[in-house]
């Protein structure tokens, strides 16, 4: 996807100099290997900073909420679905946006690369379909396809759902993926085994809230974790506090999560926090046939109802 | 442990189940005293925070009850609630909470007999499960 960089710069330059937008939000190379950071360009001369590679896993829809100016935004498939969410939730108007669509082939999971390399990544060079990584103990080459983020492996919405201009032709969507395989596996466990599984999964959490901050859905002025009267949960690393936080974080995303993977990408401890949101997404899909962010014409799953919604669990 | 009694926190809609509980009381219908009732304007007011807070502070079970679909005082509050409860219950049980620890029901203000029947069911289910283990905030362990 390296070839997208030139096209992104070209489009950004065009829309900025024509005055179509006041700012372009894209990615630029981060200061450490395998990291990209958001980049806000307000001047046509500054577009040279913009870049795109397989480390652009964070979600730029996070930066458009409540903005007043006109914005050009670089959007992968999942980002575009989050933009749809924001339009539905009145966080931005469609007319304010010029969406630069990325046909995405998946983002690289830096935690997986780090684990495969067995140490800190000192340098990384991306080629068309491979990644050459240098670590303390030597160099290794990985295929990009093998190192994709979990959500990208099973993604079925690689092309943006709303777009003003594409940087390249659409990529083929993946067929017959099985995104909820691991959720089904957990469902088959007994309550004690499930408790043990999630205690183990979430125990490394340091409560940094990076998952919350990286998520474009989390925009409450006061997050429930910061509320003190009443205080819903403690701030410690006590397992009950950690589990309560992750439960509520995931639940607040129910019917809205687009599986962009920004939460897992941001987690410094490499926790698979999507195990919870995935369960909710699976339920939304199986119970109400709902997938978030595909159209601006439908209300989210929890903001609509049917008279005959399932209720066999209610006495 | 033999004298352990389950503690249930109940969230009742003001317009129906709360009335049913009241009716059961004034009708002198016998029912167990294990619940702590919290009155809400609508079952749609129930947030997962409330349920987790109840468990965290030592409830052995949580029971949420509102109006039958179609009977909501606010027209549609319980329809939204039904969708929320569906996801909430599934996710809680996905994380290891035993089925039965959190229960839901629709009881109108005239159904005092259903109220007495459900309160018994809820308490007996939780009694079988024993004291709550998940999502309980214990005192810090000191070695």
A202 in the same domain as A164:
no
Percent of chain A residues topping a pLDDT of 70? 100
Which residues constitute the domain of residue A199?
A: 178-309
- What's the CATH class of domain B8-129? alpha beta
For residues A35 and A164, state if they share a domain: yes
A238 and A283 in a common domain: yes
Residue range A241-289, pLDDT digits in tens: 999 999 999 999 999 999 999 999 999 999 999 999 999 999 999 999 9
From its phi and psi, is residue A255 left (phi > 0), alpha (psi between -120 and 50) or beta? Answer: left
A122/B contact by beta carbon, under 8 A: no
B99 at interface of A, judged by CB pairs closer than 8 A? yes
Q: Is residue A2 part of a domain?
A: yes
How confident is residue B143, by pLDDT bands cut at 50, 70 and 90?
Answer: low
Closest Cα in chain A, distance from residue B38 (Å): 16
Query: Is the CB of B56 less than 8 angstroms away from the CB of A284?
Result: no
Domains of chain A: total: 3
Query: Which of B86, B100, B133 would best serve as a mutation to test chain A binding (most A beta carbons within 10 A)?
Result: B86
Same domain, A195 and A170: no
Q: Are residues A142 and A163 in the same domain?
A: no
Both A102 and A137 in one domain: the answer is no
* pTM as predicted: 0.93
- What is the pLDDT averaged over residues B66-90? 94
Residues A74 and A162 in one domain: yes
Is B137 within 8 Å of A302 when comparing Cβ atoms?
Answer: no
B1 pLDDT more than 70: no
Q: Is residue A51 part of a domain?
A: yes
Closest CA to B84 of B9, B11, B22, B16: B11
Decide if A230 and B53 are in contact by the 8 Å CB cutoff: yes
Q: Domain limits of chain B?
A: 8-129
For range B40-45, the mean pLDDT = 95
Contact state of A251 with B88 under an 8 Å Cβ cutoff: yes
Question: What is the rounded average pLDDT for all residues in chain B?
Answer: 93
- What is the average per-residue pLDDT within A103-132? 91
pLDDT of residue B138: 79
On the CB side of A113, CA atoms within 13 Å amount to 33
**DSSP conformation class of B109:** T
Per-residue pLDDT reduced to its tens digit, A142-164: 999 999 999 999 999 999 999 99
What secondary structure, in 3-state letters, does B80-107 show? HHHHHHHHHHHHHHHCCCCCCCEEEEEC
- Shared domain check, A79 and A31: yes
Inside any domain, residue A252: yes
Interface predicted TM-score (ipTM): 0.93
Position B141 pLDDT exceeds 70: no
A309 and chain B: CB distance < 8 Å anywhere?
yes
Residue A156, pLDDT score: 92
The pLDDT score that the predictor gives to residue A141 is 93
Q: Answer whether residue A314 is part of any domain.
A: no
Chain A closest-CA separation from residue B64 CA (Å): 9
Same-domain status, A48 and A117: no
CA distance B20 to A263: 45
* pLDDT number for residue B140: 65
Q: Within an 8 Å CB–CB cutoff, is residue A251 touching chain B?
A: yes
Are A55 and A137 within one domain?
A: no
Q: Are residues A22 and A71 in the same domain?
A: yes
Q: Which of A1, A2, A162 is nearest to A79 (CA)?
A: A162
Per the structure block, which two tokens stand in for B79?
């329809």
């Amino acid at each position: 996807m390296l070839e997208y960089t030139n096209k992104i710069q070209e489009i950004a330059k065009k829309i900025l100099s024509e005055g179509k937008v006041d700012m372009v939000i894209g990615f630029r190379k981060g200061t450490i290997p395998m990291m990209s950071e958001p980049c806000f360009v307000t001047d046509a001369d500054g577009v040279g900073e913009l870049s795109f590679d397989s480390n652009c896993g964070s979600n730029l829809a996070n930066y458009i909420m409540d903005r007043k100016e006109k914005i050009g935004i670089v959007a992968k498939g999942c980002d575009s679905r989050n933009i749809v969410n924001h339009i539905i939730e009145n966080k931005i108007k469609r007319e304010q946006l010029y969406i630069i669509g990325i046909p995405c082939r998946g983002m690289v999971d830096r935690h997986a690369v780090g684990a495969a390399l067995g140490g800190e990544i000192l340098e990384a060079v991306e080629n068309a379909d491979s990644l050459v990584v240098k670590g303390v103990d030597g160099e290794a080459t990985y295929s990009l396809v093998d190192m994709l983020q979990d959500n990208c492996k099973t993604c079925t919405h690689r092309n943006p759902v709303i777009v003003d201009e594409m940087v390249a032709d659409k990529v083929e969507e993946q067929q017959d993926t099985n995104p909820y395989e691991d959720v089904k596996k957990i469902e088959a466990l007994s309550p004690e085994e499930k408790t043990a599984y999630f205690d183990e999964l979430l125990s490394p959490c340091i409560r940094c809230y990076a998952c919350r901050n990286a998520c474009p859905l989390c925009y409450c002025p006061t997050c429930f974790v910061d509320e003190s009267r009443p205080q819903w949960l403690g701030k410690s690393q006590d397992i009950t506090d950690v589990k309560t936080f992750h439960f509520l974080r995931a639940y607040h995303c129910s019917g809205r999560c687009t599986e962009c993977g920004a939460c897992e990408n941001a987690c410094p401890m490499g926790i698979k926090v999507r195990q919870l949101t995935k369960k909710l997404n699976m339920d939304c899909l199986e119970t109400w046939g709902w997938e978030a962010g595909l159209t601006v014409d439908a209300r989210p799953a929890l903001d609509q109802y049917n008279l005959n919604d399932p209720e066999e669990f209610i006495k | 442990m033999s004298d352990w009694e389950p503690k249930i926190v109940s969230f009742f809609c003001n317009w129906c189940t709360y009335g049913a509980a009241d009716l059961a009381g004034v009708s002198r219908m016998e029912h167990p005293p294990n619940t702590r009732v919290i009155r809400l304007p609508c079952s749609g007011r129930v947030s997962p925070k409330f349920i987790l807070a109840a468990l965290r502070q030592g409830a052995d079970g949580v029971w949420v009850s509102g109006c039958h679909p179609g009977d909501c005082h606010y027209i549609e509050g319980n329809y939204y609630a039904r969708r929320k409860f569906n996801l909430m219950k599934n996710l809680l049980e996905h994380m290891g909470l035993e089925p039965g620890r959190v229960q839901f029901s629709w009881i109108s203000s005239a159904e005092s007999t259903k109220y007495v029947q459900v309160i018994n069911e809820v308490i007996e289910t939780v009694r079988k499960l024993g004291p709550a283990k998940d999502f309980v905030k214990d005192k810090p362990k000191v070695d």
